[in-house]
Amino acid sequence: MIDRADFWVVVVGLGIGTYLLRFSFLGFLGNRVLPWWLVRGLRYTAVAVLPALVAPAVLWPEAMGGQTDPARLLAAAATVLVGAYTRQMMAAIAAGAAVLAALHYLA
């Protein structure tokens, strides 16, 4: 068990670090016009976050002992296809969840 004082030091330290990290971008650059190449690159940040979070769970799922699961791969493929076709994130997530649930139900 972590000591109570150590816990609060870590929590406050992480809070200050998070604030400074966000302020470094928003506080210093908030009112300035950014270069076109930076704005273009920042557009892809949100698109890259979801695959970065999901890829480990698809390729090395802990629930399967670290082995790749065909149902998860098919659900990921359905998510990508629906997302590319509809260009709607919620539709892609719903399709992937439906395919994963259906494959787990059938197996």
**Separation between Cα atoms, residue 12 and residue 89, nearest integer Å:** 34
Q: What is the pLDDT of residue 64?
A: 67
| CA nearest neighbour of 92 among 105, 76, 72, 70 | 76
**Separation between Cα atoms, residue 42 and residue 48, nearest integer Å:** 10
Lookup: tokens for 12: 């406050």
- Yes or no: say if 72 and 61 are a contact pair by the CB < 8 Å rule: yes
The pLDDT of residue 35 is above 90: no
Q: Which of 7-16, 27-36, 74-83, 91-100 shows the lowest mean pLDDT across its residues?
A: 27-36
Q: What is the pLDDT of residue 57?
A: 84
- Yes or no: say if 58 and 72 are a contact pair by the CB < 8 Å rule: yes
Q: What is the pLDDT of residue 85?
A: 95
The pLDDT of residue 55 is above 90: no
